[in-house]
Amino acid sequence: YKQQHPFEKRQQEGEKIRRKYPDRVPVIVEKAPKAHIGDLDKKKYLVPSDLTVGQFYFLIRKRISLKPEDALFFFVDNVIPPTSATMGSLYEVCIRLPQLLKYSWVEL
Question: What's the predicted TM-score (pTM) here?
Answer: 0.77
Q: What does the pLDDT look like over 23-82, one tens digit per residue? A: 999 888 888 777 777 788 888 899 999 999 999 999 998 888 888 888 888 888 778 899
- According to the model, what pLDDT value does residue 49 have? 94
Helix, coil or strand: residue 76? strand
Contact in structure between 64 and 26 (CB atoms under 8 Å): no
Closest CA to 67 of 93, 87, 37: 37
Residue 95: pLDDT band (50, 70, 90) is low
- According to the model, what pLDDT value does residue 99 have? 44
Report the interhelical angle of 87-94 vs 53-63 (nearest 10°): 100
Q: Which of 6-15, 45-54, 72-81, 84-93 has the highest mean pLDDT?
A: 45-54
Phi, psi of 33 (to 5 degrees): -55, -30
Phi, psi of 95 (to 5 degrees): -65, -20
Class of the CATH-defined domain 7-107: alpha beta
